[in-house]
Amino acid sequence: MPWVRIDGARYRVPAQLAGTTVTVRENATGFTIWQRETLVATHPRQGRQQVVMVPAPYAGLLRVDLTALATMPPQYDPRYVRPGDVAIRDFSI
């Protein structure tokens, strides 16, 4: 994950910016992170050794509905073809 380290804290930037150069601008309450003229992240100032992540870049990655995905456990798939037995050999010399 791409991070920008400022005053001992790590601030998250979008993954597509990994390996690129960004500009960090400090204001009274935190930092803004820019790539060229595009604002890519805004973070409040944190203490040293803190990790700051904004949930917006993760939108859609996590399931919001926490109900069970299935009522039954996974079942054996009859279409699965067993590749065969594994040979067991003694490798001692």
Which has the closest alpha carbon to 24: 14, 13, 34?
34
Question: Does 75 reside within a domain?
Answer: no
Distance CA 79, CA 33 (A): 51
- Long-range pairs of 14-19 with CB within 8 A, sequence gap ≥ 24: 14/40, 14/41, 14/57, 15/57
Would you give per-residue pLDDT tens digits along the chain (93 residues)? 577 888 888 888 887 888 888 999 988 888 898 999 999 888 888 777 767 666 666 655 555 555 665 556 566 666 666 667 777 788 887
Question: Does 8 reside within a domain?
Answer: yes
Question: Does 31 reside within a domain?
Answer: yes
Question: Does 70 reside within a domain?
Answer: no
pTM of the entire structure? 0.52
Question: Does 68 reside within a domain?
Answer: no
Distance CA 2, CA 40 (A): 12
When divided into structural domains, the chain yields a total of: 1
Distance CA 40, CA 19 (A): 15
Distance CA 16, CA 70 (A): 34
Residue numbers of the domain that contains 32 = 3-58
